[in-house]
Amino acid sequence: MAAAPKSANRLAVPAPEKVDIQGASDRAEMMVGRVCSRGRYHRFEERKLEQDYEVDKNHVLGSGANGQVWLVRSRHCHKKRAFAAKTYRLSGISELKCKEIETEVEILLTVDHPNLARMVDAYETKASLTLVMELLEGGELFDRILAAGHFTERDAAEAIWQMLLAIRFLAGLGIVHRDLKLENWLYEKKGGQDLKLIDFGLSKFWRPDKSMEMRVGTLDYMAPEVLHRNYTSKCDLWSMGVIAYTLLVGSFPFSGRDGDTAMLQRIATGRFATERDAWRDASASAKDFVRKLLTVEAASRPDADQALEHPWIAKRESVARSYVSKDIVDALCSFSEASAFRRACLLVMAISLSNEERAEVHKAFLEIDKDHSGTITLSELRSVLEEKFHIEDAAVARTFQSLQSPLSRDEVINYSDFLAAMMSQRISIHDDLLHAAFARFDTDNSGYITLPKLKMLLGDSLSEAELKQVMLEADKDKDGYISMNEFVQYLQCRRSSERHLEAATCAIDRELRRPSQKMSVRERRRSSVIVKKNSAKEEISCGAALTKLAELCKPICCFGSCGVMWSQLMESLK
């Protein structure tokens, strides 16, 4: 099975135009918030690629219509973590190319899903734009099918399910990919099964009241209506039908040895090969799924939601495993107790998580996302926290509110917000993440964070008073600058304080629930608290609890210096 070449059918407009990457970043900010947009987009006067990455242009990872993709390594990681980078020339290009680049950057800054390749950074100079992407080392789906011949139905259905989740998420944002093919689905790691979609160079923001006309994509995967230059987002579902057939059979449904003209006729009429052995051996449900997606009339073709509900996909596993464990729920709930700045820092750190770190929790995110929208709603969160773990509704609402991006227009939890919450307990915060987060705040690479830099990255996420309070607490030597060491100490101190506050509160709770010793009335009035136990009020001394509290807090050097934490503890004793 040979790879079909990319379509080169582009309209050429000779007049050079200016690419507005700043505008793309601003539009993305309205969707995902300032941290996830501004934290990854760097203008040449602020930050350069070489400040954050070691560039190895001799190590080419691949090439495409827009040039080569090469390896870069982070300067902020002790292990020199690798990423993929590609550069676009910005001068002397057509209006169409300008628009394509702007759209690709806006989409990459906006999309946030476990099955979509993540852009880590974008660097703009006067002449070029470099995009740094996560490195997906598992190879193309195309190579997997070549090696295997064809997939088993279970493996094919599992792969298609992951792809449909990505398409469903894109459709919810009004995005059409327009070049779905085996080569654009990559495995996260060698031998793994987690797929991610890449290459948004032909993608487009689309309005349902307006059809698209440009014939783009790869011929083997191209829908009939694309050939007729009058199509909607359903073109992506046709491409998914081609992929599903190919995974089951091991060859393309419309290709043949009689040339492109004959293939175009077969695509236009929806006549695909049914005489191959692998197709005849496929189950009736699998065949029905493929036939529905390869429906010529786009209006009768299923959308992503309907495709996900098809029995061949929905019933691909007889027993569903749960990935939402108690520690996942604990991380979600504890995130709401963290300060606003700490939550913002965790969100910044989430940008730099490795594939392995995200893999620990991404299946839990997909499990909570019952409607496959790629986001978590309040009702979805409530169904997990209340029904399975008996968390009170007020606590669920508080957790949901803390997880929402401050500038998000929709009342949903995005994938990056979920990852940030997992870092409060579930994912370990190590030096590389702290250094990478500091670098994103330190926009000019001066080695210090100032109040204007905090404002630049966080925007309206924190008020002026909150930002000044952060400076007051983190800037230990009161020189108006937060150094790397001060930044790390502040976050670790806060994390330690929050962790020990929780432990101390648990210790107090245990002490208060022990049977009380006999005391005089005067002693009981002088030092007592009232707790509700077995539906009866019981007065118990908190002296033992305070002793336990002192033992817990004694080794925490930062605890005694933080009046806020002490007052919170005292409040818990009232």
Binding site, annotated residues? 86
Give the pair of three-digit tokens for residue 337.
């107790």
The burial of 480, by beta-carbon neighbours within 10 Å (0-12 exposed, 13-18 middle, 19 or more buried), is given as exposed
Parallel, antiparallel, or unpaired for β 119-124 and 41-43?
A: parallel
* Neighbour tally for 500: CB within 10 Å: 19
Separation between Cα atoms, residue 201 and residue 65, nearest integer Å: 9
Q: Which two tokens stand for residue 356?
A: 């392995």
Annotated binding site for ATP: 86
- Cβ-proximal residues to 294 (8 Å cutoff; 6+ apart), any chain: 238, 241, 242, 245, 253, 270, 272
Amino acid, single-letter form, for residue 89: R
What is the phi-psi region of residue 259: left when phi exceeds 0, alpha when psi lies from -120 to 50, beta otherwise?
left
| CA-based end-to-end distance of the chain | 73
Q: Any catalytic annotation for residue 179? A: yes
Residue of 72, 52, 28, 24 whose CA lies nearest to 444: 52
**How far apart are alpha carbons 88 and 90 in whole angstroms?**
6
Q: Are 149 and 1 in contact (CB under 8 A)?
A: no
Kindly give, in sequence order, each residue whose CB lies less than 8 Å from that of residue 536, ignoring residues fewer than 6 positions away. none
Task: Tell me the angle at which helices 235-249 and 153-172 cross, rounded to the nearest 10 degrees.
Answer: 170
Query: Which of 322, 324, 323 lies closest to 385, judged by CA?
Result: 324
Nearest one of 240, 234, 251, 421 to 344, comparing CA atoms: 421
Q: Alpha-carbon distance 111 to 51, whole Å?
A: 26
CA atoms of 522 and 503, how far apart (whole Å): 31
Q: How far is CA 154 from the centre of its chain?
A: 26
> Catalytic pick from 121, 179, 194, 199?
179
Catalytic residue IDs:
179
